[in-house]
Structure 1
Amino acid sequence: MKGEGERMASPARHTSLLDGKVSRLIMRLAIPSIIGLSLNALQQFVNAIFVGTLSVQAIAAVSITLPIVLLLTSVGQGIGVGTASFVSRNLGAGNSAEASRGASSALAVAAPIGVAITVALLFRLRDVLALLGASRTIMPAALEYASTLLLGYTLMLLNMVNGSIVRAEGNTRFSMWTMIAAFTLNALLDPILIFLLDLEVRGAALATLLSQIAATSLYAVYFVKQRGIVRVRPSYITLRGDRVKQITAVGAPATITGMLSAVAFVLLYRAAAPFGDDSIAAVGIASRLLTIGALPIMGLCIGSQAILGFSWGAQDFARAQKAAKFMLSVAFAFSATFSAVVVIFARPIVRLLSDSEDVAEIAVSTCIVFHLFFGLFGVQYGVITMLQSFGRAGLSAVVSFARQGYLFVPAILLLPDIWGFKGLLISQAAAELLAGLLAVFVMLRQFRDLKGRLLSRPMSGER
């Protein structure tokens, strides 16, 4: 008889990747990720709304720290994705003890990583913010916001891993309610700390810190009370090489992608800095909207990846094709709709984020140009997910690095010097368009390949 650590996962908690209609299964797996990522973006959006009423320098200070947030989040995403994959695969194999060891070890590694990154950044924070383009007028507020936010980074990192573990064992409802509780607390604390206690930008960061403490407490209760299948215990912490390698191999791509995003934002803000604080604030508003639009698509693709990879590995090419087409269709529909909404309603959206007329005039045009071709982002991210699921790492890297790498970097380094602020806008739009067209080309080739594989073997049909 198996002991407590060896207990099998309850069938009700897990979804078979072979059963049911593909579209329904993808949405069932994707919705928790979409909600979680969207709430994270919405939390940043709410902070920006409150801070935007203070001053141009305040919103610029918060905006300029976005690359730091993206960089820090990318580490948590990498550890979380790798841990979730390890936990779910071992639970599926009936080895809940190994799943518990992997989860416990991942949390044990995440904590010192969080502390080390926090200490390193706090010691060089002024230099980092200057590298991001913070001017002398922005620097004081940026230091206040970033230093307070960094104090909660280790908790944020642990919460990302905690959420991944809980979702991997099938308890998506608890993870969602935890994120909702943290978001609600943050939204309630923002006006109290920013205005009532007159803490301004530090109050916004403190609200985020307190919401992270609340989320950590909820996850701690969850594991201590043994509400799920996975057990998180000190005795399960074993940094065995093959276990760490498995988690790292799956999680590294997510971390690299996040780091590329951070580098792209650094270059964007540095390019905006010579044009003044209003331009930095405008670019920050447009960039934040891009992030909000991207996260639901990422959540959808995370939910689709398991089905794509499982179907490809089982050589069920009919099911893989259906999953890919549904994922790409929904991703494109959402990104195209989001693009249209921002372009059409740019002015009222900007008004939510800044009371400054000067910032608003620049931000409206910036938001419109940044989102002109955002409809192609859904295709880009869907194609990247499809290629990763099919094990085509090289081609995946070519598409992944286009939008924020080899297409964007030369443009942002050259065009602002030639055409000024218009050159900055063109850099973002051109990279989005060209990366999207590249993704469409690769997508068509992949579907031709899938069609060829289907013709060369009997179709399995949709189970």
Structure 2
Amino acid sequence: MWVGADAEGQGKSMAAPAQQINFTDDKISRLIMRLAIPTIIGLSINALQQFVNAIFVGTLGAQAIAAVSMTLPIVVLLTAVGQGIGVGTASFVSRNLGAGNSLEASRGATLALALAVPIGGTITVALLLHLREFLAMLGASPTIMPAALEYASTLLFGYTLMLLNVVNGFIVRAEGNTRFSMWTMITAFALNTVLDPIFIFLLDLGVRGAALATLLSQIAAIGVYIAYFLKKRGIVRIRTSYITLSVDRIKQIAAIGAPATITSILSAVAFMLLYRAAAPFGDDSVAAVGIAVRLLTIGALPIVGFCIGSQTVLGFSWGAQDFARVEKAAKFMLSVTVQFSISFSALVMAFARPMVSLFSDSENVTEIAVPTCVAFHFFFGLFGVQYVVITLLQSLGRVRLSAVVSLARQGYLFIPAILLFPAIWGFNGLLASQALAELVAGLVALFVMLGQIDDLKGMRTRSVGDRVEGKKLT
């Protein structure tokens, strides 16, 4: 099936995209890479945007950068909501497109965007009403509080737009146009980079200027997505007439999206607990853990981007009941991510000292950071397995297993360990917490993956048998 054939008015197919993506391309590795690479670039650009913001704000002094850093948990919380809605919507859209039901895919996408508006508005109002208390709970001191309030309140006014942009990105990627999503992110990043120095320095708006630059870049991005849907660049149509509060659609989107949201929130909680556990061992230990976490993030980002970009192939093939193709795609994804994660972990462990020196010139920090990086990356080779399995389960709509795997690494495995082990074994207990959580989560994912492959083989065999039986009857 060419997702691009003119199907307006032809039953369930309904609409036609401008882009030509052959989701039945026999060369599945080529298809996956075509979809995944732009997603990796887009996510990397998004991460780079936070880095550039920090550089400009850092010139305003320690209090300014501390104020912006203090709002990071708020940003993580807000992003988690968008990712949850986006992941659930992407799974719904890709599965329905694979089944040839683009009308239902459009209705689900429209419903998700319609729900994002009141959800974003409610969260914005709730946070604005209690922003001072929330920042105080995060540890904002009286000297940091004014700048933190200024930055966070300005940013919150644009949260609904940010939420819509996240969901739009997942919808566009779900129909295969990952390049458009990538260029939209690049456009927003470029605009933000240009506006930061203008608002911060030229207009003398300080941290509020940084927030305004981000806000305007989000407005530009939403404008690009509106043009995309108005010009019918993809197969999904966004129309007000499709807005119906279907309980079944909401349940399907929420069931897949909720674990993704909870996982993101747990990641923020896990990092907070990790730094808190390191604090009693001194500032050098906190810095060392921070360096190890940065390297982990650098390694995880390409894997996450690769899997998000590949999700469309899994969901589309599952919707089309092409179980052999689902199996083939999952195995290719597993091969790529495992090779990358093992190579990255080996690289970090082999060159931990020179890598640490890029972040700190302190000898004390280096001596602590080197073994910390080694411990944190010892089982990182299993991270590729974890994320492929999570993506596969989300694409197939398997809610409970998705929750079991996605909540393991930073949730029910890591949190008890980080609360218990450092109290028993000191800093070595902190290192063991991360390593053990990575190991067990990876083994859980591997066990689930083997089960899913067996299931797919069984469904493929039954599907072939049914076709043969059908031919005999005719």
Q: Which moved more, 1:150-159 or 1:378-387?
A: 378-387
Q: Is the 8 A contact 1:332 1:378 kept in 2?
A: yes
- Tell me the TM-score normalised to structure 2 length: 0.79
Structure 1 vs Structure 2 CA RMSD:
4.2
Q: Provide the rounded CA distance (Å) in 1 between the counterparts of 2:129 and 2:341.
A: 39
Shift of the 333–279 alpha-carbon distance from structure 1 to 2, 3 Å rule, reads: same
Aligned pairs for 1:378-397 within 5 A: 378-389=384-395, 393-397=399-403
Deviations 1:170-211 (A, max 9, x none): 443332211111112223334454566665554443332222
State which of 66, 70, 79 in structure 2 corresponds to 1:73. 79
Q: Quote the residue 1:23 is aligned against.
A: 29
For 1:110-259, list aligned pairs within 5 A: 110-134=116-140, 139=145, 141-194=147-200, 201-259=207-265
- In the alignment, the residues of structure 1 paired with residue 281 and residue 232 of structure 2 have an alpha-carbon distance, to the nearest angstrom, of 55
Partners of 2:147 and 2:360 lie apart in 1 by 16
Distance in 1, matches of 2:350 and 2:198, equals: 33
Question: Which segments of 5 or more consecutive residues in structure 2 lack a partner in the other structure?
Answer: 1-6, 467-474
For the structure 1 residues 417 and 58, does the alpha-carbon distance in structure 2 shift closer, same or farther, using more than 3 Å as the test?
A: farther
Q: What residue identity is the alignment partner of 1:150?
A: L
| Aligned equivalents of 1:49, 1:282: Cα separation in 2 | 21
| Stretch of structure 1 that moved more, 206-215 or 348-357 | 348-357
Do the aligned residues in 2 keep the contact of 1:171 with 1:228 (CA within 8 Å)?
A: yes
Instruction: In structure 2, give the amino acid aligned to 1:412.
Output: I
Q: Which residue of 2 aligns with 1:411?
A: 417
CA contact (8 A) 2:85 2:254 kept: yes
TM-score using structure 1 length: 0.80
The range that moved more, 175-184 or 99-108, is: 99-108
C-alpha separation between the residues in 1 aligned to 2:290 and 2:153?
A: 19
- Give the deviation of 1:330 after TM superposition: 0.9
2:343 aligned partner:
337
Q: How many angstroms apart in 2 are the aligned matches of 1:56 and 1:349?
A: 25
Where in structure 2 are the equivalents of 1:352-391 lying within 5 Å? 367=373, 369-389=375-395
Which ranges of structure 1 fall in alignment gaps of 5 or more residues?
none
Q: CA deviation at 1:413?
A: 1.3
- Offset of residue 72 of structure 1: 1.4
SS in 2 for 1:232: coil
Alignment of 1:256-271 (within 5 A): 256-271=262-277
Mapped to 1, the partners of 2:69 and 2:375 lie a distance apart of: 18
On the 8 A contact 1:321/1:447 being kept in 2, the answer is yes
Counterpart code for 1:110: A
Quick check: 2:259–2:402 contact (8 Å CA) kept in 1?
no
Q: 2:15 maps to which residue?
A: 9
Secondary structure of 1:13's match?
A: coil
> After alignment, is 40-49 or 10-19 more displaced?
10-19
Letter in 1 for 2:186: I
Change (3 A) 1:73 1:162: same
| Equivalent pair of 1:78/1:252 in contact (CA under 8 Å) | yes
- Contact 2:8 / 2:15 at 8 angstroms: preserved in 1? no
Render the CA deviation track for 1:154-174: whole Å, top value 9, x for unaligned. Answer: 111011122233334444333
Partner of 2:300: 294
2:88 to 78, 82, 88: 82
Report Cα offsets for 1:297-345 as digits up to 9, x if no partner.
1232234444445656777555444322211111122223333455566
Measured after TM superposition, the shift of residue 216 of structure 1 is 1.7
Which whole-Å CA distance do the structure 2 matches of 1:349 and 1:322 have between them? 36
Residue 174 of structure 1 aligns to a residue in which SS? helix
Q: State which drifts further: 43-52 or 338-347.
A: 338-347
Residue 351 of structure 1: CA displacement? Answer: 7.0
Q: Tell me, yes or no, if the aligned pair for 1:384 and 1:400 is still in contact at 8 Å.
A: yes
2:108 corresponds to 1:102: yes
Contact 1:417 1:423 in 2 (8 A): yes
- C-alpha distance in 1, partners of 2:209/2:425? 39
- Give the residue type in structure 1 aligned to 2:334: L
Displacement of 1:275 in angstroms is: 6.1
In 2 relative to 1, CA 332–53 (structure 1 residues): closer, same or farther, beyond 3 Å?
farther
Match of 2:51 in 1: 45
Shift of residue 296 of structure 1?
2.4
What is residue 441 of structure 2 aligned with on the other side? Answer: 435
- CA offset at residue 347 of structure 1? 6.7
2:4 equivalent in structure 1: none
1:326 aligns with 2:344: no
% identity of equivalent residues: 76
Separation in 2, partners of 1:33, 1:268: 29
1:37-62 residue CA offsets vs partner (Å, 9 max, x unmatched): 22222222333444556666655554
Give the Å deviation of 1:76: 1.0
| Letter aligned with residue 213 of structure 1 | I
Kept in 1, the 8 Å contact 2:43–2:305? The answer is yes
**Which segment is superposed worse, 183-192 or 350-359?**
350-359
Contact 2:52 2:193 in 1 (8 A): yes
Counterpart in the other structure of 1:400: 406
Q: Which moved more, 1:375-384 or 1:134-143?
A: 134-143
Per-residue deviation, 1:231: 4.0
